[in-house]
Amino acid sequence: MGKMMKIVKRLLLLFFLVLVIGLGYLGYQIHQNVQQVITFEDEVEQAVKANNIPEYKNLVLAIIYTESKGRTEDLMQSSESAYGKRQMIGTTKESIDTGVAFLAQSIEKANEAGCDIWTAVQAYNFGLDYIQFVKERGGKNSIRLAEEYSKEVLSPLLGNTDQKQYRYYRPQALIYNGGYLYNNGGNMFYADLVKMNQAFIKWLK
């Protein structure tokens, strides 16, 4: 019995060490990502002021973190909203200017509809029609509403009439449904991811 206890203790210690090393590495990666994203802080500040949403500078930085971690030319993945297809934007400034303008439009529409800011953020991923959808269902974004829109509206609209899913291994998804998104259905966890990344930026900037 004593020998078995020693083995169990060693295994627990090994597990603890692996966990600590893993969390340390994750923390290091998050810190590196934040430092990369804030290299664009001045450009973001100019864009949010130009679009009359200066109070949302950190939110825009969080969207950059979510979309690209600051490591591609199209920082905010703005190409689709501007041109209707991907990889049409070639400079970080154009991506920021286009992305912030679209976010400002989304925030304005969400405010007019009496919806919360996270509805506007989710609409950055889903498209502006999502705002009316949330307005008709209480005005507050939630993963449940985002899932309904992804599954019943956006996904079929873009050709996924069979409600096919694919694996998605983010913590929010794993906790909510075991780690799935709907094909062609955007990311129903988008607002929660941006919220989490905004917290990282606040803590580590």
Q: Does residue 86 register a pLDDT over 90?
A: no
Written as one letter, the residue type at 4 is M
Residue 72 lies in a domain: yes
pTM summary value: 0.89
What domain range includes position 88? Answer: 2-139+190-204
Rounded to an integer, the average pLDDT of 56-80 is 94
CATH number at residue 83: 1.10.530.10
Distance CA 188, CA 198 (A): 17
- As a whole number of angstroms, the distance between CA 111 and CA 131 comes to 10
Range with the poorest average pLDDT among 56-60, 81-85, 104-108: 81-85
Check residue 1 and give its pLDDT.
57
148 inside domain: no
Mean pLDDT of 69-95: 85
pLDDT value at 28 more than 80: yes
| Distance of alpha carbon 100 from alpha carbon 104, whole angstroms | 6
Q: How far apart are CA 33 and CA 70, in angstroms?
A: 7
Residues 6+ apart with CB under 8 A from 86: 77, 79, 80
Confidence band of 23 (pLDDT split at 50, 70, 90): confident
Q: Specify the number of domains making up the chain.
A: 1
Residue 120 in domain: yes
Instruction: Report d(CA 113, CA 27) in Å as an integer.
Output: 38
Does residue 149 fall inside a structural domain?
A: no
75-93 in b/e form (b: 16+ CB < 10 A) is bbbbbebbeeeeeebeebe
